[in-house]
Each structure stands twice: as structure tokens, then as C-alpha cells.
Structure 1
Amino acid sequence: MNLDLQKPNITYPCKWEYRIIGKDEKKLRELIFEIMPREYEVKFGKNSAQGHYVSLYVEVEVLSEKERNDIFATLQQSQEVKMVL
């Protein structure tokens, strides 16, 4: 069995979805508004079982791998964000 991880073949530009998890939905939405480079779509994910966290799905067209990774890194660095998938 070949367990080598291969980089996926992604053709840019393409739509990309980020799942963002944090404590405050309003603050997450404000953060998304501030950093997205162009039009995007936000969908509510769900609340955690205990109600401490909320998840949002954000879909945006990314023009390159660098832009995709930069958005991910910016989201990840925010204090409002617990996790980005």
C-alpha cells in the first residue's frame, strides 16, 4: 500500500470553502468581512453540543494557492478563531 501523500491537483481560480470555528458568531462574521478579498458566501454550520462554539462555512473564489493559504493563515491567526478546516 502506498501511503505517500500526494499534493492534490487544484486548478485555479476555483471556489474554496473554509470551515471556521469560534465562540462568537457576530465577531467571526466581522472577521470574514474584513479579510475576504472578494465576494463570498457564508453559511451557518452548527453550535457545539454545549453551546460554547459555533461553526461557519465560507466559500470564496481563490485565484492561487498562495491566496488560498494566506486566507487560511489570516483566519488561523485571529483570536476570534478556535480552528479553521
Structure 2
Amino acid sequence: MKTPCKEPRRPEIEYPCSWVYKVIGQDCSLLKDAILDACGTLSVTISHSHSSSGGKYHSLNAELTVHSEESRLAIYESLKASPVVKLVL
């Protein structure tokens, strides 16, 4: 007898909170610009996370305080829509 799959529960996040986006692309400078654009007036700390073995791809961590789910998701969508960003985690 199969048990029905439960829908995944959404995590309960209390705002404001510190949030880190991992942003992956080919050009660190352009990635930094995309992060700054997406975060607008919010203060963000950008740090290098990793580079691929061939040096073609780089990942940056963008850490900031988000004040609401709407803000957190808007930043994510803005990063995802940037042509210089290959992946956002």
C-alpha cells in the first residue's frame, strides 16, 4: 500500500533575517554589478566563494539582511533574470 506524498512544507523564516545567495557566472566583475543592481539600496557583502578548475566559472556569495519574503524573492528573481548569471542558489 502506497502512502500519499505530502506536499513539501515551506520553511518558516522570521524576518528580518540574514540571507546568503550564491551567484554563479563567468565574469566576477559583472556578477558583482548584477548583485548590486538586484539588491538596490540594501547593504550587501559580496565575497568570492569558488572558481571552477578551469577558471571559466566563479561563484560569489551575496550576504544581506532581507526584511520580507517578497524582498527575498524579488532579489532572487532579479538575479535569475540577469544575463550574466548562470545560476542562483
TM-score where L is the length of structure 1: 0.91
1:49 to partner: Cα distance: 1.7
2:21 maps to: 18
1:69 maps to: 73
1:51 to partner: Cα distance: 1.3
1:35 to partner: Cα distance: 2.2
Secondary structure in 2 matching 1:66: helix
1:12 to partner: Cα distance: 0.6
Partners of 1:58 and 1:2 in 2: CA distance: 38
Q: CA, structure 1 residues 16+3, in 2 after alignment: closer, same or farther (shift >3 Å)?
A: farther
Runs of 4 or more consecutive aligned structure 1 residues displaced over 4 Å after TM superposition: none
Alignment RMSD:
1.5
Percentage of identical aligned residues: 34
Counterpart mapping for 1:11-50 below 5 A: 11-37=14-40, 38-50=42-54
1:3 to partner: Cα distance: 5.8
Post-superposition Cα deviations, 1:20-40, rounded to whole Å, max 9, x if no partner, equal 000000011111122213111
Q: Specify the structure having the higher radius of gyration (Cα).
A: 2
1:58 maps to: 62
Show structure 2 runs of 5+ residues with no match.
none
TM-score where L is the length of structure 2: 0.88
